[in-house]
Amino acid sequence: MQNGLINTGEPRNIMGHIVSGAVASAVVSGTINYKKAKEKKLSSNEAIQDTVKKTAQGAIATGTAIATANHIGQQGGFLKALTALSVGMAGIYAVEVIDDKLNSKYEQLEDSCCDENFLEEGINE
Residues 6+ apart with CB under 8 A from 84: 64, 67, 68, 71
The Cα-based distances of 108 to 45, 94, 101, 102, 104 in angstroms read 17, 21, 11, 10, 6
Q: Which residue has the higher pLDDT, 119 or 67?
A: 67
What is the pLDDT, as a whole number, of residue 123?
A: 53
Alpha helix ranges (H) inside the chain: 14-38, 44-72, 78-113, 116-124
Per-residue pLDDT tens for 84-113? Answer: 999 999 999 999 999 999 888 777 766 776
Looking at residue 122, what is its pLDDT? Answer: 52
Work out the average pLDDT over 57-86.
93
Per-residue pLDDT tens digits for 6-31: 777 788 888 899 999 999 999 999 99
